[in-house]
Amino acid sequence: FERFNHGMLKHETSILNYLCRQGVMNIPNIRWYGMANEYNGGSLTHCLIIPFYTMSLLSYLNTIDPIIYRKCAIDFMTSTIATLSVIHDNYVIHRDIKPDNLMVRNNRVIIIDFGISTIYMDNDGFHYPENKVIKTDIVGSSKYISPNIHYGIDPSRRDDMISLGYVFMEIISQKSLWKNHGEYNNTPFPETYSMTSEQGLRNACFTQQISTFATSSQSPEAIGREDNNNSINSFRNQTLLSKKTL
């Protein structure tokens, strides 16, 4: 039994219900949401019941044969790009893509934890404008958010994809991305992160293919639209055809 902010729990329920009605797959299905007595007979509290996922993607990959580790990671990456793209097609951005929010069930990656997700379109069908403001905190997990968010730019679809690229750089390389992230929690100090610029990506000990995927998501075109098939095909072609080793 875990306690959550009631407003956040209700918000997550609304987002998941909406996405499920749109036919989005590979996200949690809500079993029940409402008020219930706490397990120790205490006061009423808000409850959300969803399937219990026992294994994260990273934990699952650690159980497989090292010989096929890379191929399996790439297969999972491409399927997760597809799922995230469908979520984006339904006007939702996740805003907290990280390893802990990618679970595996029946050989499929399930994206969980939509508590800070949001709609990026207004009631008239227009994309909310991109604002850059000075912020004292950030939305998401500092280790995986994009440079744009560190610099105060409002999250967009592009930033979900950059976060996903960072996650899989870590999975593919089996190395931590940043040296200093633990010192700053969720404070926006981009100069402290070695992976918050294209130059940092190029200089890091990761395959250029994964780096290219993450940095290409920062192009201006990625703000207003996403070519889902090109994103998936580009990633697969750049990684599967590569002869480089980690």
> Which residues are catalytically annotated?
96
**Residues 171, 99: Cα–Cα separation, whole Å:** 9
Report residue 66 as tokens. Answer: 């090292």
For helices 228-240 and 208-216, give the axis angle rounded to 10 degrees. 170
Report residue 193 as tokens. Answer: 């992160």
Cβ neighbours for 215, distance < 8 A, ≥ 6 positions apart: 165, 198, 201
